[in-house]
Amino acid sequence: MGQHVSRTDFEWVYTDQPHTGRRDAMLRKYPEIKKLFGPDPKFKYIVSAMVLTQIFMLLDPDVPSILEAKLFCNTFGKFVWIILQPLFYAIRPLFVNPLPVEKLELLNTAIQLAFDGLVVLIFGWRMLAYLLIGSFLAMGIHPVAGHFIAEHYMYAKGFETYSYYGMLNWITFNVGYHNEHHDFPAIPGSKLPELKKIAPEFYDSMPQHTSWVRVMYDFVTDPAIGPYARIKRRALERAG
């Protein structure tokens, strides 16, 4: 249904990822960038307030597997893929890179199930369904959810990471400053705009998105873009 994607495999490259080299060049030219490193002391309070608001209001606000890329390969399929993104984000690591289960993961699961049970006990199944549906909406067909696709899907040949500098950064902890984030993971989101102001010449010439809604529209309708539109590298074997 709709146009079939034109790609039949991921974009394989044999060069190193670009962020390390750009980070080194920026630090040589602007050593003051190091002053931006460190945690954001306000972040824990903001997130805590958001979670508490979601609980009391009963609101609930990354590389595809080969199976996903083969199944969701036309216009309708890509639309369904966007809707089901929360499900794929949850189960993909179990198949792509399975790891031993840690105690903290078991504790996290137990706490979540206990909380879900408490919601059902106090408010009923409809409220739990409301929270689950809200999650699918927030991570699926929703303007803000466009950042999941915008960050790393190859909209321009040879570029694997993209930034977005629009107003939605105000409510998403500057997640749109994604090249900046990968260049300097130690800089908190609140200071990423300052990083770009210090060294604009490293980012202004790179492809960037101006609309997350447009990102989703192009993903669904453009045959050149789909789950295969990702740059991948083969893991290097560790020396003996």
Higher pLDDT, 44 or 92: 44
Chain mean pLDDT for the chain: 85
Q: Which two tokens stand for residue 74?
A: 């036309």
The answer to whether the beta carbons of residues 92 and 64 sit under 8 Å apart is yes
% of residues, the chain, pLDDT over 90: 48
Q: Which tens digits make up the pLDDT trace of 94-125?
A: 776 777 888 998 999 999 999 999 989 998 99
Contact 152, 3 (CB under 8 A): no
Q: In the predicted model, is pLDDT for residue 133 greater than 50?
A: yes
Whole-number percent of the chain with pLDDT over 70? 85
pLDDT confidence bin for 238, thresholds 50/70/90: very low
- CA dist 97 and 133 (Å) reads 27
Least confident of 69-83, 99-113, 165-179: 69-83
Q: Give the DSSP H or E segment for 147.
A: helix 146-150
Distance CA 195, CA 200 (A): 8
Model confidence pLDDT, tens digit, residues 20-73 = 999 999 999 999 999 999 999 999 999 898 878 766 665 333 556 666 677 667
Beta strands in the chain (DSSP E): 11-12, 163-164, 208-209, 231-232
First-to-final CA distance of the chain: 50
Q: Dihedral sign, CA of 191, 194, 199, 205?
A: positive
What's the pTM value of the predicted model, to 2 decimals? 0.69
